[in-house]
Amino acid sequence: MAPFKLDLKMINSEILPSFSLTIEDSYITTIYSDTDMQGELVQALQNNGSMTVFDQQDGLYKRLTVRSNIAFYRKWFGCQTPLAEILVLFELHTYATVPLHKCSEFEIRRVYYAKYFMSGVYPMIFQEPIHGADIRTINTFINMLQKLTDNNTPVLVIVSNMEHALLLGDVAYKLQEKGLHQIEIDNEDNDTTETETSTLATKNLFKIPAKVDDKVILFDPPEIDYIESQGGKAMIVINGESYAMDSTLTEIEKKLEIYGFYRCHRSYIVNLQKVREIITWSKNTYSLRIDNQIQSTIPLSRTKIQDIQEKFSLK
Amino acid sequence: MNIQRISAIFEKDIKDFMKNMMLLTMPIIPVVLALIYDRMGDGEELPLMLIYLIVGVTFSAVTASCMMTMMAEENEKKTLRGLILSPASFFDIIIGKSLVTGLITMISLAVSLMIIGIEPFLNVQAIIGLILLFLFFLLLGIGIGLFSKSIAATSAYLMPVMFLFGFTPIIYSLGLNEGGMTIAIAETFPIMKAVEAHDNNSWSSIGIIALWVVGAALFMYICFKKTATDD
């Protein structure tokens, strides 16, 4: 199959900008946006492009077993992959004889994945596929994406969570009122030729300033969970709340290094003290789980895994 | 039309039928009714009207009701979304479901007729009459199933179908004037025409039932057009 050209130039929407995008069949494309924008985008895709968006709002046959459901959809969509292989691919083989109404939400979600996988729709567009899913389910989804790219099916994933966009996509875009922009993913840190001007200030620095409306709030470095870059601005994240900073990520990275902060991704600096878990996804991608109330996960670059293992003396 | 898709729907709906208590109890109604009438008859042969009452109950409570419940459930639980890729696949769904309904109706009707004695039905007109009646109720069920959005709504729609078309022979026990309007109208209804065809082997009565079937087909077509333009 060939790359799919997505053209949303003819739409009249208040907030959705017009753009065109080629969804390649050799890698996964993700679009990150806020939820309002996402709603508009999905609407535009369904109405203007009359495309199917997999949003898991359609029903499954709750009285039937997992196997019966999958067998039905497989036959209906005329899928060539053997039934047993599908069950294993989505880690459903142990639940094959369980009726759907007795399955957990994660198993049901994997049945959805299987259904979408077998549907053979071109191109495949997923909306929030792994939102709230557990690690096992996310892994089956990543495996499925791998299979789809092997079959040269163009795949687009629409998410409202930057971490998910970076985890799932080989190429991630950010959709804003201004238009569609690619988020640079990999980390050839070539622009770190910093001019060391504020060395004196660094030594006396104990607090990190952030602006909320007109006030300036000063944070203790240890209470910060992580810092992420949003549109060139660094944002301090503490328990899911973001506070804007005036400096860029590269500037703040230098200052926070001595407090045990680490640049784990092009757009993230993490407080190593707060890392609870290093998650290894399939296809060699990694995330860090932060020890806060909402258990946020942030991406960890492939090239930084060595470094981080050394830091935690794992090697 | 795609045989593989039809058989996929057929297999799925048979499995689903076996697990659905609401549908599973329906085919039992005519069987129970047949048992009761058989007892009441004390071994004598039942009047034709009562036999056709059982036939009417089978077709309305099993054929029409199963069909509309199955379709309404797919509507209600949004399982149709994602299945319908083209109008052609929609017909595959209807044909698959009709086969399931047909099978269940046949079993239920055969069992109830065995109980009260199947001999009166072994002639051409009676059998053609039964087949036409089945088609009439099936098409009616599909039509209603197309526009009903929930299972609860189908119970309401089922009532007029059952009382008007299923229980028509009961009209004689209401004590109405023999030559009156109501009786005259009721006698043109499909079940009554089937009784007539059975009684005096008349082909014209069969023709009138066939007209009813065409009417039901028209009704289904209108419902289909309406739901197709709604989306």
Query: Is A149 found in the same domain as A206?
Result: no
The pLDDT, as a whole number, for residue A189 is 44
Query: Is A224 found in the same domain as A172?
Result: no
Cα–Cα nearest to A123, from A149, A165, A156, A147: A156
Asked whether A101 and A73 are in contact (CB, 8 A), the reply is no
Query: Is A243 found in the same domain as A105?
Result: no
Query: Is A125 found in the same domain as A236?
Result: no
The rounded distance, in Å, linking the Cα atoms of B47 and A147 is 67
Taking residues B9-13, what's their average pLDDT? 94
| One-character DSSP codes across B3-66 | HHHHHHHHHHHHHHHHH-HHHHHTTHHHHHHHHHHHHHTTTSPPPHHHHHHHHHHIIIIIIIHH
The pLDDT, as a whole number, for residue B16 is 93
Cα–Cα nearest to A293, from A242, A222, A227, A241: A241
Lowest mean pLDDT, pick from A55-59, B51-55, B171-175: B171-175
Number of domains in chain A: 2
pLDDT at position A283 over 80: no
Query: Is A233 found in the same domain as A152?
Result: no
pLDDT one-digit tens code per residue, A171-182: 888 888 888 888
pLDDT one-digit tens code per residue, B18-33: 999 889 999 999 999 9
The rounded distance, in Å, linking the Cα atoms of B205 and B193 is 5
Query: Is A27 found in the same domain as A172?
Result: yes
Instruction: Give the β-pairing of A268-271 and A261-265.
Output: antiparallel
pLDDT at position A200 over 60: no
Q: What is the CATH number of the domain that holds A9?
A: 3.40.50.300
Structural domain includes residue A72: yes
Residue A32, strand partner residues: A159, A174
Structural domain includes residue A149: yes
Q: Long-range contacts for A212-217 (Cβ within 8 Å, ≥24 apart)?
A: A212/A243, A212/A244, A217/A243
Cβ separation B79–A52 shorter than 8 A: no
Structural domain includes residue A207: yes
Of the residues A183, A209, A230, the one at which a domain ends: A183
Cβ separation A60–B79 shorter than 8 A: yes
Q: Count each helix (H run) and each strand (E run) in chain B, helices first.
A: 11, 0
Q: Is B205 exposed, middle or buried (0-12, 13-18, 19+ CB in 10 A)?
A: buried
Query: Is A231 found in the same domain as A169?
Result: no
User: Within a 13 Å sphere around the CA of A286, how many CA atoms are in the beta-carbon half?
Assistant: 16
Asked whether B96 and B7 are in contact (CB, 8 A), the reply is yes
The pLDDT, as a whole number, for residue A315 is 63
Structural domain includes residue A192: no
Asked whether A65 and B22 are in contact (CB, 8 A), the reply is no
Q: Which residues contact B22 (CB under 8 A, 6 or more apart)?
A: B69, B151
Cβ separation B5–A75 shorter than 8 A: yes
Of the residues A153, A183, A213, the one at which a domain ends: A183
- Measured between CA atoms, how close is B77 to chain A, in angstroms? 5
Q: What is the CATH number of the domain that holds A269?
A: 2.40.50.1020
Cβ separation A59–B81 shorter than 8 A: yes
| DSSP secondary structure letter of residue A49 | S
pLDDT at position A32 over 50: yes
User: Within a 13 Å sphere around the CA of A209, how many CA atoms are in the beta-carbon half?
Assistant: 9
pLDDT at position B143 over 80: yes
- Measured between CA atoms, how close is B2 to chain A, in angstroms? 10
Question: Predicted confidence band at A273 (pLDDT cuts at 50, 70, 90)?
Answer: confident
pLDDT one-digit tens code per residue, B17-70: 999 988 999 999 999 999 998 888 776 777 888 889 999 999 999 999 999 999
End-to-end CA distance of chain B: 22
CA-CA distances (angstroms) from residue B22 to A16, B69, B73, B106? 47, 9, 11, 18
Query: Is A40 found in the same domain as A134?
Result: yes
Cβ separation A59–B9 shorter than 8 A: no
| Residue ranges making up the domain that contains A227 | 199-311
Query: Is A266 found in the same domain as A228?
Result: yes
Query: Is A275 found in the same domain as A174?
Result: no
For chain A, give the mean pLDDT. Answer: 83
Query: Is A175 found in the same domain as A115?
Result: yes
Query: Is A218 found in the same domain as A179?
Result: no
End-to-end CA distance of chain A: 43
Residue A172, strand partner residues: A30, A183
Taking residues A236-263, what's their average pLDDT? 83
pLDDT one-digit tens code per residue, A70-95: 999 999 998 899 999 999 999 999 99
User: Within a 13 Å sphere around the CA of B115, how many CA atoms are in the beta-carbon half?
Assistant: 22
Structural domain includes residue A40: yes
pLDDT at position A205 over 70: no
Decide if A46 touches B, using CB distance below 8 A: no
This prediction's pTM = 0.79
Q: Is A250 exposed, middle or buried (0-12, 13-18, 19+ CB in 10 A)?
A: middle
Of the residues A151, A183, A215, the one at which a domain ends: A183
**Contact residues on chain B for A64, CB-CB shorter than 8 A:** 12, 15-16, 19
**Contact residues on chain B for A76, CB-CB shorter than 8 A:** 5, 8-9, 83
Taking residues B176-198, what's their average pLDDT? 85
Q: Is the peptide bond before A3 cis (omega within 30 degrees of 0)?
A: no
